[in-house]
Amino acid sequence: MCEANAYFNSDGQEVLFMEAVDVIEPYEDGLKLVDIFGRQKFVKARIKDMTLLNHRIVLEETAGFKHDSD
Amino acid sequence: MCEANAYFNSDGQEVLFMEAVDVIEPYEDGLKLVDIFGRQKFVKARIKDMTLLNHRIVLEETAGFKHDSD
């Protein structure tokens, strides 16, 4: 399985935001993430870097950062 | 291996841009893609959608589209 974990980089520390992410797509001024169970999260962030072989996505907050989960 | 293939969506058709992509990160006003062999491509594009389980990244051209390979 090739899902990845999404982290925020906060003050030099990486904080897990969402596990087992399958889908990432732009949504309004941020991103929509969907995990392998179909759970969605919307976040005002952009991709800072992503290494698929390491299953890692690092997100970076954009202006007006907040996140909501469904 | 969890690399993905990157495609451009052009007139409704998907055109392969780079195979076996490992790393994606923002670079200037576009993206830097690095494949599992360490080859890099820079492209004025953004991620349109990405499904990791399907090993697919779809890119979308941004203004001033062009791409260079190293």
pLDDT tens digits, A16-36: 999 999 999 999 989 999 999
Please tell me whether residue A69 adopts helix, strand or coil conformation: strand
pLDDT, average across residues A52-59: 97
Q: Structural domain boundaries of chain B?
A: 4-69
Tokens of A2: 């090739």
CA angle A59, A61, A62 (to 5 degrees): 125
Query: Which pTM was predicted?
Result: 0.85
> Residue B61 in contact with residue B45, Cβ under 8 Å?
yes
Q: Tell which wins on pLDDT, A67 or B24.
A: B24
ipTM above 0.90, yes or no: no
A-side interface with B, Cβ within 8 Å?
A: 1-4, 21-26, 36, 46-53, 55
- Interface contact A49-B22, CB threshold 8 A: no
Give A68's pLDDT tier (boundaries 50, 70, 90): low
Find chain B residues with C-beta within 8 A of A25's C-beta: 47-50
Measured between alpha carbons, how far is B20 from B31 in angstroms, rounded to an integer? Answer: 16
Cα-atom radius of gyration of chain A, to the nearest Å?
11
